[in-house]
Structure formats: C-alpha cells, structure tokens
Amino acid sequence: MNRLTDQQLLRDYAERRSESAFAELVRRHIDLIYSAALRMVCDSHLAEDVTQGAFVALARSAPQLTDRAVLSGWLHRTAQNIAAQTVRTDVRRRAREQEAAVMNELFTTEPDGGWEQIAPHLDAALGELGEADRDALLLRYFERKSAQEMAQVLGVSDEAAQKRVSRAVERLREFFAKRGVTVGASGLVVVISANAVQAAPVTLAASISTATAVFGTTVQNSIALSATKTIAMTTFQKAIIAVTVVVAGTGILYEAHRASRLQEQLQMLQLERESIDSTMLQLEQERNEAKAALATARNENVQSIEIPAELLRLRAEVTKLRAAAQARARLTAAETNDPTGASAKSWLTRVEQLRKHAESTPAIPELQLLTENDWLDAVKGNKVLESEADFRKALSRLRSAAKENFGNATRSALKKYLTASEGTLPSDWAQLNPYYEKPMDDAILERYELLQTGKLSDVPAKGFLFAEKALPVDQEYDTSYEYSLTGTRSSSVNRTDDVIEDAARKFASANNGLLPKDPAQLTPYLRRAIDPAELQRVFRKIPSDVTTFEQLKAVVTSPK
C-alpha cells in the first residue's frame, strides 16, 4: 500500500470504496493539512474541524481527482477555503457574544453608577451652556423630541439642529471631565435620556393644585378683611403653613414613589439576569447533548466497520449545524424584539473595531479634533468591517472628517483675525494660533500652508487661503484639501500631474509668466512632495520652444 501513488490510492477508493486506500491517503497528508489549518484558525479544536472537512471534501470529489498530479495542493486549497469560512463564522459568533456581554454589563452596572456621578453636576452644567445649546439639548433628550420636531421648534434646518445638539453634548462632556467625571459623548446621551426626566407621582399634580387654590383663597380673604391687620396677617400665616404642609407631604410621597420605582427596576433587572442564566443553562445542556451525540457517533464508528468513516463525521457535522441554527434563531428572535438595541450594539461594535484598527495604522494629528459623531459617521457606510479595504475606507472617512473640522476651526480663527487686523491676512500660523477657540497643536499646523498674504480684498472671491501640504496616509482612498473663507475643495491625492500643473502656475505667477528651466525650481511651490523622477517625466513632455505658462496651456488645449 505504501508503494502506491496518491492517484492510485484515490482511484482505488473512488472505484471500490477501499477504506484502507483512503486511510493511507489520510495518513500521508493529515499532518500537513492539520498544521496549515492550525496556522489559519489558531485554535486546535477548530483546526480539527477544518481538517475533517477537507478530507470529507476529498471523499466526495474522489472521482474527479484521480488524474490530479499533486493531491496535497488541492487539499491545502480546500482546507484554506474551509478555514476562511470557519474563521468568519467564529468571528461573528464571538462578536455576538461580546456584544451580549457588553450590553449586559451596561444594563446591569453602568447606568446607575454613571448617573450617580453625573446627577450632582448636571444642572450646573446645563447652566454653563448658551441659551441656544441648552434649548436644543432639552428638546432632544429631556423632552425627547425627534430631530425633525426639534428643528421645527428652533426654526432651523435638521442638520443645523443636530450640529447644535452635538456641540452641546461635547461641551457637557468637557464640563464633567473638569470635575473628574469621565464619560463618552454616546454614554452621556444614554445616561441622560434614561435618567434625567423621571415620572412625577400622580398625587403631586393634585397636591400642587390644592395648595395653589388654598393660597389664592387666603390672599382674597386677606384683601377682603384688610380693615383688621391682625386678622389679615393670621390668614396669610395659615396659608403659608398649609402650603408648607402640602409641600412636605408631597416630598414624602415623591421619595416613596421614587423608592418604589427603583425597587421595580431592580426586580426587572433580576428577572432579566435570571432569564439570561436560564438561557445559558439551556445552551450548555444543548452543547452537552451535542457532545454526547458525537461520542455516540464515534462509538458506532468503532463498533461497525461497515459504516464509512466520512458518514459518521458528516453526522457529527449535521449535529453541530443544527445546534448553530438553533442558537442563531434565538439571537435573531432577540434582535427582532429589540431592533433599536441591536442596531445600536452593531454601531458601537464597529466603532470599537475601528478604534482598535486605528491604533495599528499611521495616524494624522488632526484625529484629536474628532467627535463621537465623527466616529459613528465613519462606520455608517459599512454594515460590517471585515476586509482590509473596509477598514481603509472607514479610516479615510475619519481623516477627511478631521481635516474638515480643522478647516472649520481655522475659518473661524481667520475671521476673528481679519476683524482685529482690519482685513490683513496672517503671514504665518503663529499669528493666527491665538485666535482659535483652543490653541491648535503645532503638529497639525505644520501639515498645512497659508496660500495668501496681504489684504483679503486683493484675494479673488473664491480664492483659497490655506491648503493641506502633507503627504497622504493612503494614496488610494485619501483626498487633499484646499480651503477658502466660504468653502472647501477636496481632490484625489494621487493626481500627480494636477499637483505639478498647479505648482507651475504658481511659479509662473511669481516669475513674470515664465516656466522654470529646472524641475527642481518647482519644489517650493508643490502642495505635496513629488518624486524628482516624476517631475522629470512630466517636464520631458513640454516642447523645447514653450517657455511660458500661457504657451503651455495653449499647447495642452490645442486640438491634435
């Protein structure tokens, strides 16, 4: 048997179902396939499953492989495909388990503890906000208005209203951070929405109405009996005492009602915990049953040589698939019952995945300008983050948001500077930096250049005042930015010809319309670094008799 080739053994198995021939094939290749599977899935149990799947596939495809020269290559490719599917399935399972654990922890610990830290400072923080920000925040999270309803009340667009809310939440978070309460913007919104507005006791409204009526009646009686000062004063004192008694009683009722609500919430949480424990026990029981079924299948394999080995392995595989299908059905049902919660968990999971991936990716300093909403927007277009391309696109959106935030902050600083300087533009970043709402990091400013100096009135209406000059992080997905006082222009960073043409235009403007004789003369005018060999390539295309930028434009635009 050892002298036979893989093709002979496979043909023997395909034609006569020779168990010994198939066993020899397994013996020859199992170490290779298991080792490859272990490297790919990094788990010994999963590697065993992948190895079994590869040989089951070999048994099924034996008639088509009898003429294949190298069987190990086919087995390795098959194992690789099965491993990829296994890893994807395992990653999704782990992600769902992690989501469940995180949300369970949030629902059982975070809201109470977070609210106890936030509640003492919340109203002081609201008092620190401007009126417009405070109104937007109260409408959105205290009165629970939708974004559209909030915009209608404020008389602004939906986008402007949402930006106002985001700004207010960020300022609240900064207020709490100064007092040692660290909380993310999304977490702060969740805690405020859940706890800031509590249902008042039903008896409170009636008590207040009664107290108001008593006070009003007392005042009327006091006016009617004004002839006797002593009687009027006594009546007023009685009203005050009555109101005090009512308010005191109302306070007691409110505290009792609040304690009752807290007790109800505690009981609900305990019931949820019991439900989760029951579900876990059921899953563990099903797992044990699957193990028992697998053990039974293996015993049957030992006792009966008439049943092919791959049939028993398929039976165990079916058992696993059934258990997985049941678990998936339960998760789907849970998400169907709470679609909002499932969507929120998915977004938070993708943001966390992106944050971890960003830690191992070259970063730009502008990322410190991002808000929580920017992170959420970055993953909005990707329902899943699996491939490297998914992460690169999301990170590119993050970098673009950071650059736009820098542009907005710089425009605001420029407007303040222009007011103070009577319309004169700054000549360097050091002059402009004091006019930012917060001083801008020098590492950020070094990545940009000021394009204009002198009077703003001398700059064209839509002229760009500053632009990005740093090299892109991702040549394929990133964009380069130019900014004016009223807008932003972004362009693909890998348009080398455009960058060189723009530099030639600037050089000609500074040199009486002439083109440089040496490509190196363009270097100070490039908005990003260009390989000297690339500069030489572009210059070789220019005819020798073309010496001005206007001539160059005529050559480029003339019909051929």
- Across the range 356-374, mean pLDDT stands at 87
State the Cα–Cα distance between residues 68 and 178, nearest whole angstrom. Answer: 71
pLDDT digits (tens, 9 = 90+) for 316-346: 777 767 766 665 565 556 555 555 556 667 7
**Burial class of residue 560, CB neighbours in 10 A (0-12, 13-18, 19+):** exposed
- Name the range with the highest mean pLDDT among 90-94, 405-409, 555-559: 405-409
CB atoms within 10 A of CB 34: 18
Closest listed residue to residue 23, CA positions, set 8, 38, 13:
13
CB 453 within 8 A of CB 463: no
Closest listed residue to residue 209, CA positions, set 222, 200, 221:
200
E strand segments, 414-521: 424-425, 448-450, 454-455, 466-468, 479-483, 488-492
CB 155 within 8 A of CB 162: no
State the Cα–Cα distance between residues 314 and 556, nearest whole angstrom. Answer: 68
The pLDDT > 90 percentage for the chain reads 23
pLDDT at 105 over 70: no
Token pair 């009135």 is found at 457
pLDDT digits (tens, 9 = 90+) for 524-547: 998 777 888 888 888 888 888 889
- Across the range 45-57, mean pLDDT stands at 92
Check residues 383 and 242 and name the one with the higher pLDDT: 383
The answer for 42, left when phi > 0, alpha when psi is -120 to 50, beta otherwise, is left
Check residues 141 and 244 and name the one with the higher pLDDT: 141
Beta bridge partners of 492: 479
- Please tell me the pTM assigned to this model: 0.33
CB atoms within 10 A of CB 37: 27
Taking 3-state DSSP, the helix, strand and coil percentages for the chain, each rounded to the nearest 5, stand at 75, 5, 20
Query: What pLDDT, on the 0 to 100 scale, is given for residue 240?
Result: 47
User: Which positions ≥6 away from 378 have C-beta within 8 Å?
Assistant: 351, 354, 394, 395, 397, 398, 401
CB 444 within 8 A of CB 366: yes
Query: What pLDDT, on the 0 to 100 scale, is given for residue 100?
Result: 61
CB 500 within 8 A of CB 526: yes
| Mean pLDDT, the chain, integer | 78
Closest listed residue to residue 365, CA positions, set 406, 413, 409:
406
User: Which positions ≥6 away from 69 have C-beta within 8 Å?
Assistant: 7
Closest listed residue to residue 193, CA positions, set 169, 160, 161:
169
pLDDT digits (tens, 9 = 90+) for 427-476: 999 999 999 998 999 999 999 999 999 999 998 877 899 999 988 888 76
Check residues 240 and 4 and name the one with the higher pLDDT: 4
CB atoms within 10 A of CB 115: 15
pLDDT at 252 over 90: no
CB 396 within 8 A of CB 427: no
CB 136 within 8 A of CB 165: yes
Query: What pLDDT, on the 0 to 100 scale, is given for residue 493?
Result: 55
CB 125 within 8 A of CB 172: yes
CB 161 within 8 A of CB 154: yes
State the Cα–Cα distance between residues 282 and 464, nearest whole angstrom. Answer: 65
pLDDT digits (tens, 9 = 90+) for 53-77: 999 999 999 899 988 878 888 999 9
pLDDT digits (tens, 9 = 90+) for 177-231: 988 888 888 788 888 887 766 665 544 444 444 443 444 444 445 444 443 443 3
pLDDT at 514 over 90: yes
pLDDT digits (tens, 9 = 90+) for 134-151: 888 888 888 788 888 888
- Across the range 6-34, mean pLDDT stands at 91
pLDDT digits (tens, 9 = 90+) for 285-311: 877 887 787 777 666 655 554 455 566
Q: How confident is the model at residue 232 (pLDDT cuts 50, 70, 90)?
A: very low
Query: What pLDDT, on the 0 to 100 scale, is given for residue 338?
Result: 53
State the Cα–Cα distance between residues 417 and 466, nearest whole angstrom. Answer: 14
Query: What pLDDT, on the 0 to 100 scale, is given for residue 216?
Result: 45
Token pair 């193990």 is found at 291
Q: Kind of pairing, strands 466-468 and 448-450?
A: antiparallel
The backbone torsions φ and ψ at residue 514, rounded to the nearest 5 degrees and listed phi first, read -80, 150
CA distance to 96, 186, 201, 313, 377, per residue, from 351 (Å): 15, 11, 40, 40, 9
Least confident of 269-273, 485-489, 493-497: 493-497
Helices (H), 511-547: 532-540
CA 256, distance to chain mean position in Å, is 41
Token pair 């673009």 is found at 400
State the Cα–Cα distance between residues 5 and 16, nearest whole angstrom. Answer: 16
Query: What pLDDT, on the 0 to 100 scale, is given for residue 397?
Result: 87
